[in-house]
Amino acid sequence: MGLFILRRIGIMILTALCLTFIVFWLTNLFPNLEKLAKTQGNFRMSDEAVLTYLGNNGYLQPLPVKYGQWLGVLPGYVIEGSDGQIRARCASGNEDIADAPTFCGILQGNWGYSTVFREDAGSIIATRLGLTGKLMFWVMLLMVPGALIIGVLAGMNEGSRTDRSLSTVSILSTATPEYVSGVVFISVFATATFGMQWFKGTATAAMDDANFENFFLPVLTIALYGMGYIARMTRASMTEVMTAQYIRTARLKGVAFSQIVLRHALRNALIAPFTVIMLQFPFLLNGVVIVETLFNYKGFGWTLVQAASNNDIELLLGVSIVSVFVVLTTQLISDIGYVFLNPRIRIA
Amino acid sequence: MTTQDQPIHPIALQYARDEKAGKLSRREFIARTTALGVTVPAAYGLLGLAAPTAANAQAQQGGSVRMQMEVRAVKDPRAFDWPQITYVTAGWLEYLVEYNNDGSFQPMLLESWEVNDNATVYILNVRQGVTWNDGTPFTAEDVARNITGWCDTTVEGNSMAARFSAIIDTETGQALEGAIEVVDEYTVQLNLPAPDITLIAGMSDYPAAITPADFNADTMLENPVGTGPYLPETVDVGIRATLVRNENHDWWGYAAGKGAYLDRIEYIDYGTDPSAWVAAAAADEVDIIYETVGDFVDIFNSIGFIESSVASSSTVVIRPNQRAEIDGMRPYADKRVRQAIAMAVDNAVCLELGYASRGEVARNQHVGPMHPAWADVPALPHDPARALELLQEAGMADFEMDLVSIDDDWRKNTTDAVAAQLRDAGFNVKRTIIPGATFWNDWTEYPFSSTDWNHRPIDTQTLGLAYRSGEAWNESGFANAEFDALLAEANAIPDADNRRVVMRRLQEIMTDEGVTLQPYWRTIYRHAKPGFVGWDMNIAYLPHIYKIGIAA
């Protein structure tokens, strides 16, 4: 088991390296650097001024060198600018260059500087991730029990009227992407059009002070999308279990139906949905990009959109690392959890 | 302010006759006379009217307000390219002069000013008793230093230099030797080599914020030294900004009865999509909407918000950039191509589809009837068939024009209307829509795109900022020596009638060269929840935030 986890962590690091290198390469393409220089300096800089700016700020070094500096395996640049001023990657603000550390990359815990928000990228990611965490927590709280109940109810009696109607609902909710359901919810429940103005169509206030009124719609929008999918998986797994020999035996013994479902079927039926639920975390990261933008909830997804559209190199890299970590960690948890739920599976 | 017993400026008397004769609008009259140093009551007196009293006398002290507004990164005020930035910085960085909706210039950090008869000498009397919030007094040195800074053309993105080009030495790129003179502790004199009538108007514009002696744009939020009544509490770009009252500062405006009623002002960013603003208003998360546009005016009226509107010379231009290179050639350098674009588009259709007919049709000249020296120059006729012929003559019929716009409501719709009409005329047009976050990164460089322009009081101002050769904001890439010479000439003629002769020629050049499409003049709107005063839309989007209060 230990070896397995170790190997997984190795893969995680390798994936993070590959992904960040690709992002680094794309954001460091020259047109993107030019755009960055113009946002930072002036919207009407001449081409010479762009080159001086990029040169003075270390953007014109070879790609592997820049990447190495960002990682923290190569010493940060110290460049004497064309204006005679010495700039160092590791000296922030008014810090004296002599006092600055030699290495200041991600390995030293330095996430870099966001050019859009003019703040430390690490602290931005921490704040925004916290907000998204809050959103995810409530989504999970609504989605997982909801999906399991629907799935189990539908799967108890395959082909029954309950099964058909619940299946239709879950297929509908999975087939409706967030950007459709979100808009529909806002127009139905947050405007006076249908006389059902129960919720608020924006979640900006929920960042500081979340309540049912201003937070329910974004939570529902994300939760519904995943709920249908998990419910379908639960139903499939449940129907399979319900046809198993030992369930028939239990029935013949005269055990009550509710006892059969809760005691005998449920535990075995939950193995497959568990994996699906863990895999939903990465999908939720997708969903928050749309929903946070739609509801103006300034979390991780919104940050990703802002960073990408402004070519904010170091913030984008930070976002990538966090994404890799979330995806691979949830997979790891799902694999380990599987072993505990299903004794037939062994991890060497 | 000049006192009543001082002689009225002779040109002001001429303006009064012009106004009576119907040559000047009342707003323009007020703008031009107060720019010459005539007080607001005296200016109204010349018209035989009583000056209106401020409506926000009924505000109560204290309270807070939440305003929907894009929160952008602060930088050196001279490089401000977006009035929203000043709604944050105006909390502590104030202005010398304030421009109001009736066209008047009210003194702020100046107490008064006098302009000589041919507008070559400006005497600026600095308000006494003003202190910076670090305790040092505000003096003539501060005014002179700021004006010198405005004239520094080497500062990247300094748009104030265009407003003060009259006293800039073109060789050094700095203020002319001897042009800015500190007479005594509270008097500054500007000596112009040639007359310029727009300097006071320039001082009222939003990048003209007055900064302290050791101002550093990088630390302006950590070390907010200024003369104003508020301090920044938080500025999170794209999220929110908060101003709170500076309790340790005796703002000059308290004694002058200026207001600063609110204890706290919050700006909350809801992105560029107006439907998100409606959602925020319906959720009672904001009290004031920075600006309402298009169909959303009616929507905000319908949810019980109060409307404030002002007819302005704010506009949108859809301009080809003559210097833009595509595949090694300059498609819009050919005059015929630009004329073809102008002839293919019916401006009335742009107004109807793009701005729900809330404004006046314009003639692609970027000077309008609200300006004093506007000449009645006809636009190129709307003739799509001839437009296509011109395009074919130029050999550009197969060229695919990429028409860029920002992703918002009215600017996008207007640009769509232009694109549709060009396609109807047989042009090959592609539309590109860029999100607000990135659009402004190189707005002057797009080969063919739309940009909104704010109201400016005097006719030559916008022409100087946007069409003079080599200006920072010259997005059409227009460079015409004759135009530049005529513009300099117009800037030296204070009399509107005499200037009109030159303006006619300038407007003819704008039309004939097909410099830009400028389809309509906008009426601009702002909405607020009932119960607030002093939040009215400013004709030039200026941040008069000290006037906002909760109704008593």
Kindly state the average pLDDT of the residues B115-129: 87
Distance CA A48, CA A52 (A): 6
Mean pLDDT of A116-137: 88
Here the tokens at position B4 are 């009543």
Q: How confident is the model at residue B3 (pLDDT cuts 50, 70, 90)?
A: very low
Integer Cα distance of B188 and B142 in angstroms: 10
Tokens of B356: 């729900």
- Alpha-carbon dihedral sign for residues A60, A61, A65, A70: negative
Are B265 and B91 a contacting pair, CB within 8 Å?
yes
Q: A130-139, B28-37, B384-393, B422-431: which range is least confident on average? A: B28-37
Flag whether residue B438 sits within 8 Å of chain A, measured between CB atoms.
Answer: yes
* Angle in degrees, CA B73, B131, B253, rounded to 5: 80
Contact A296 B271 (CB under 8 A): yes
| HEC string for B366-413 | CCCCCCCCCCCCCCCCCCHHHHHHHHHHCCCCCCEEEEEEECCCHHHH
Interchain CB distance below 8 Å, A35 and B437: no
Q: How far apart are the first and last CA of chain A?
A: 6
What's the residue count for chain A? Answer: 348
The residue assigned the tokens 């090959």 is B428
Say what the pLDDT of residue B454 is. Answer: 82
CB pair distance less than 8 Å for B443 and A191:
no
For residue B145, what are its two tokens?
Answer: 């230093």
- Mean pLDDT lowest for which of A24-28, A41-45, B37-41? A41-45
Q: Report whether B549 contacts B259 (CB < 8 A).
A: yes
Q: What is the DSSP letter of A194?
A: T
Q: Rounded mean pLDDT of chain B?
A: 87
Instruction: Count CB-CB contacts under 10 A for residue B469.
Output: 13
Write down the pLDDT at residue B44: 78
| Secondary structure class of B125 (helix, strand, coil) | strand
Q: Rounded to 5 degrees, what angle do the CA atoms B187, B193, B195 make?
A: 85
Percent of chain A with pLDDT over 90: 12
Cβ separation of B303 and A296 shorter than 8 Å?
Answer: no
Report helix, strand and coil shares of chain B as percent, to nearest 5. 30, 20, 45
pLDDT at A262: 85
Q: Are the CB atoms for B300 and A226 separated by under 8 Å?
A: no
Name which of A307-321, B46-60, B120-134, B410-424 the model is least confident about: B46-60
Residue-level pLDDT at B345: 94
The predicted structure's pLDDT at residue B64: 93
With beta carbons less than 8 A apart as the criterion, state whether B367 and B456 touch.
no
Q: What is the pLDDT of residue A5?
A: 84
Binned at pLDDT 50, 70 and 90, residue B552 comes out as confident
User: Can you read off the two tokens belonging to residue A246?
Assistant: 């030992």
Mean pLDDT of B78-91: 90
Which of B159, B441, B469 is the mutation pick for testing A, counting most A CBs within 10 A?
A: B441
| Per-residue pLDDT tens digits for B470-503 | 887 899 999 999 999 999 888 888 777 888 999 9
Strands B64-68 and B288-292: parallel
B271 touches chain A (CB under 8 A): yes
What pLDDT does residue B16 have? 79
Two structure tokens written together for B305: 């918000």
DSSP line for B319-340: EE-TT--BTTB-TTSSHHHHHH
Strands (E), B40-91: 59-60, 64-68
> Tens digit of pLDDT for each residue in B498-529?
889 999 999 999 999 999 999 999 998 999 99
> Over chain A, what is the mean pLDDT?
84
A31 in B contact zone (CB under 8 Å): no
Alpha-carbon distance of B473 to B471, in angstroms, equals 5
Complex confidence, ipTM: 0.77
Task: Give me the residue from B79, B270, B278 closest to A42, CB to CB.
Answer: B79
Within 8 A by CB and 6+ apart from B211, the residues are: B77, B93, B146, B149, B226
Give the side-chain half-sphere CA count within 13 A for B152: 14
Nearest-5° Cα angle at B382, B377 to B384: 150
Residues of A in contact with B441 (CB under 8 A): 35, 38-39, 43, 310
Maximum CA extent, chain A: 90
Inter-chain contact B276–A310, Cβ cutoff 8 Å?
A: no
pLDDT at position B498: 85
Instruction: Output the pLDDT for position B2.
Output: 39
Instruction: Indicate which of B75, B277, B285 best probes the interface with A, i.e. most A CBs within 10 Å of its own CB.
Output: B285
pLDDT tens-digit map of B53-84: 555 457 888 899 999 999 988 888 988 878 89
Q: Strand runs (DSSP E) across chain A, as ranges? A: 78-80, 86-88, 113-114, 119-120
Q: Is the dihedral of CA B270, B274, B275, B280 positive or negative?
A: positive
DSSP letter for B134, please: T
Report how far residue B511's alpha carbon sits from residue B335's, in angstroms, rounded to the nearest whole number. Answer: 11
DSSP state of B137: B
How would you label A263-282 residue by residue, b for 16+ Cβ within 10 Å and e otherwise? Answer: ebbeebbbbbbbbbbbbbbb
Q: Indicate whether A347 pLDDT > 70.
A: no
User: Which of B238, B282, B438 minimises the CB distance to A191?
Assistant: B282
B435/A197 CB distance under 8 A: no
Of B243, B285, B276, the C-alpha closest to B86 is B243
Position B89 scores a pLDDT of: 95
Q: pLDDT (tens digit, 9 = 90+) per residue, B243-289?
A: 999 999 999 988 888 888 999 999 999 888 888 898 888 888 899 99
How far apart are alpha carbons A302 and B342 in whole angstroms? Answer: 40
**Using 50, 70 and 90 to split pLDDT, how confident is the model at B191?**
very high
CB contact residues (below 8 A), chain A span 260-299, against chain B: 293, 296, 298
CA of A342 vs chain B CAs: smallest distance (Å): 47
Contact by Cβ (8 Å): A278, A286: no
User: What residues 296-325 of chain B have any CB closer than 8 A to a CB of chain A?
Assistant: 303
B32 vs B80, residue with greater confidence? B80
Contact criterion met (CB below 8 Å) for B169 and B175? yes
Determine the Cα–Cα distance for residues A4 and B191; give it in Å rounded to an integer. 81
How far is Cα B179 from Cα B142, in angstroms, rounded to an integer?
Answer: 16
Q: Which residue has the tokens 């230990």?
A: A2
A123 shares contact with chain B (CB less than 8 Å): no
Q: How far, in whole angstroms, is CA B108 from its chain's centroid?
A: 18
User: Which residues in chain B are contacts of A307 at CB distance < 8 A?
Assistant: none
**Mean pLDDT score, B27-32:** 76
Residue B226 or A271, more confident: B226
* Those residues with Cβ within 8 angstroms of residue A58's Cβ, 6 or more apart along the chain or in another chain: A66, A69, A77, A79, A87, A89
For residues B550 and B552, give the distance between their C-alpha atoms in angstroms, rounded to a whole number. 6
Mean predicted confidence (pLDDT) in B404-432: 92
Q: How close is the nearest chain A Cα to the Cα of B145, in Å?
A: 23
Nearest Cα residue in chain A from B442: A43
Vertex B223 angle, CA B217 and B226, to 5°: 85
Q: Per DSSP, what are the bridge partners of residue A79?
A: A87
Q: Tens of pLDDT along B531-549? A: 999 999 998 899 999 999 9
Among residues of chain A, what percentage have pLDDT more than 70? Answer: 93
Letter for the amino acid at B212? P
Residue B4 binned pLDDT confidence (cut-offs 50, 70, 90): very low
Residue B367: name the closest of B411, B315, B417, B443 by CA.
B315
CA B413-B360-B21 angle, to 5 degrees, is 165
Residues of B (57-86) whose Cβ lies below 8 Å from A: 73, 79, 81
A98 or A42, greater pLDDT: A98
Spatial CA neighbour of A283 closest among A124, A139, A166: A139
With CA atoms as reference, the chain B residue closest to A127 would be B236
Average pLDDT over residues B432-458: 84
User: Is A41 an 8 Å CB contact of chain B?
Assistant: yes
What residues of A are in contact with residue B278 (Cβ under 8 Å)?
Answer: 191, 201
Query: What three-state secondary structure class fits B445?
Result: coil
Q: Best interface-test mutation with B: which of A32, A47, A124, A296 has the largest number of B CBs within 10 A?
A: A296
Worst-scoring range by mean pLDDT, A65-79, A329-343, B80-94, B392-406? A329-343
pLDDT in tens, A143-176: 999 999 999 899 888 888 989 999 999 999 989 8
Quick one: DSSP state of residue A340? H
pLDDT band at A93 (very low <50, low <70, confident <90, very high): low
pLDDT at B509 (0 to 100): 94
Beta carbons of B289 and B66 less than 8 angstroms apart: no
- pLDDT at residue B537, as a whole number: 92
Nearest to B198 by CA among B381, B468, B440, B417: B468
* CA-derived radius of gyration, chain B: 23
Under a CB-based contact definition with an 8 Å cutoff, are residues A147 and A231 in contact? yes
Task: Find tokens 């002057």 and name the residue.
Answer: B444
CA dist B487 and B467 (Å) reads 10
| Extended strands (E) in A83-231 | 86-88, 113-114, 119-120
What is the distance in angstroms between the Cα of A118 and the nearest Cα belonging to chain B?
8
Q: What pLDDT shows up at residue B123? A: 93
Q: How far is B298 from chain A (nearest CA, A)?
A: 15
Closest to B103 measured CA to CA, from B26, B6, B189, B202: B26
**Is the Cβ of B285 closer than 8 Å to some Cβ of chain A?**
yes
Contact B438 A309 (CB under 8 A): yes
Give the CA diameter of chain B: 70
Three-state DSSP class for residue B314: strand
- Strand order, beta sheet including B532-533: B59-60, B549-551, B532-533
Q: From the CA of A159, how many Å to the nearest CA of chain B?
A: 43
pLDDT band at B415 (very low <50, low <70, confident <90, very high): very high
| pLDDT of amino acid B53 | 57
